[in-house]
Structure 1
Amino acid sequence: MISSYWNKGFSLQKSTRYFTIFSAKYSSGTKLFFENIHRGLIRVSGDEVHEFLQGLITNDISHINNTSNRDNAMFTMFLNKQGRVLYDTIIYRQRNEKTSCIIECDRTIEEQLKQHLLHFRFRKNINIDIITQEMNIWACFQDFHDLHRNTKNNFQVTHQHEYWKLGAIICSDPRLQLGLRIITPKYLQIPDFQHINDDRKCVLPNTSYNYKKLRYIHGISEGIVAYLDNLTSQMLDCSNYDEPILNEKDQIIGKLKGIQDEFGIGLLKIDLALSSKHLKIGSLNASTYRPTWWPQKKKLKYVLLL
Structure 2
Amino acid sequence: MDRLTVLGRILNARAFSRVFANLRFCSSKVEVDEDAEVPSKKQKIQQVMNVHPVVAERVKTRSVLAVCGRDSIDFLNNLTTNQLNQLNDEAACLHTYFLNSKGRIIHDALIYKPDDDDTLFIECDISSLQALQTHLIMYRARTNVEIRSVEQEVGVWAVYDPLEIDGGAEGTQDSIHDTSFLDDLDLGGKILLSRDPRMWPLGLRILAPREIDVAQSLKIAGVKITDAPNGTYKSVRYKLGVAEGIAEIGYGRSLPAEINGDYTNAICLSKTNYTGWAPGALKKMVENRMLPLMFHGNPAMVSANSPITDRRGKKSSPIGYLRGVQGFFGLGLMNIPSVLSDRYCIVGKVETECVRPPWWKNEVKSSDINELKEIPQRAND
Matched, 1:100 2:109: no
Deviations along 1:247-267, one digit per CA (max 9) or x if unpaired, are 123222111111111100111
> Counterpart amino acid of 2:169?
T
Query: Aligned in 2, Cα 1:29/1:201: closer, same or farther, shift over 3 Å?
Result: same
Of 305, 319, 322 in structure 2, the residue corresponding to residue 242 of structure 1 is: 305
Name the CA distance, whole Å, in 2 between partners of 1:281 and 1:100.
Answer: 45
Counterpart in the other structure of 1:298: 367
Counterpart in the other structure of 1:225: 247
Unaligned runs of 5+ in 2: 1-49, 173-178, 255-301, 376-381
Range that drifts further, 150-159 or 171-180 = 150-159
> 1:79, 1:87 within 8 Å by CA — same for their partners in 2?
yes
Over aligned residue pairs, what C-alpha RMSD do you find? 2.6
Name the CA distance, whole Å, in 1 between partners of 2:146 and 2:219.
Answer: 35
Counterpart in the other structure of 1:175: 198
> 1:157, 1:170 within 8 Å by CA — same for their partners in 2?
no
Query: Aligned in 2, Cα 1:277/1:269: closer, same or farther, shift over 3 Å?
Result: closer
Query: Aligned in 2, Cα 1:43/1:299: closer, same or farther, shift over 3 Å?
Result: same
Identical aligned pairs, as a percentage? 27
Residue 157 of structure 1 deviates from its aligned partner by 5.6
Residue 58 of structure 1 deviates from its aligned partner by 0.5
> How many residues align structurally?
261
Q: Considering fraction of residues, name the structure with more helix.
A: 2
Query: Aligned in 2, Cα 1:145/1:241: closer, same or farther, shift over 3 Å?
Result: closer
Name the CA distance, whole Å, in 1 between partners of 2:171 and 2:133.
Answer: 30
Residue 222 of structure 1 deviates from its aligned partner by 1.1
Bigger Rg, structure 1 or 2: 2
> 1:77, 1:87 within 8 Å by CA — same for their partners in 2?
yes
SS in 1 for 2:216: helix
Deviations along 1:191-225, one digit per CA (max 9) or x if unpaired, are 23211x22x43235341x11101101111111112
Pairs within 5 Å for 1:39-188 = 39-64=62-87, 66=88, 68=89, 72-94=92-114, 96-141=115-160, 145-152=163-170, 155-156=179-180, 158=182, 162-165=186-189, 167-176=190-199, 177-188=201-212
State the TM-score, normalized to the length of structure 1. Answer: 0.78
Residue 188 of structure 1 deviates from its aligned partner by 1.3
Name the CA distance, whole Å, in 2 between partners of 1:220 and 1:241.
Answer: 16
Relative CO higher for 1 or 2, CA cutoff 8 Å, sep ≥ 6?
A: 1
Deviations along 1:222-271, one digit per CA (max 9) or x if unpaired, are 11122226259xxxxxx953211111232221111111111001111101
Name the CA distance, whole Å, in 1 between partners of 2:54 and 2:348.
Answer: 38
Name the CA distance, whole Å, in 2 between partners of 1:45 and 1:129.
Answer: 9
Q: Considering fraction of residues, name the structure with more strand.
A: 1
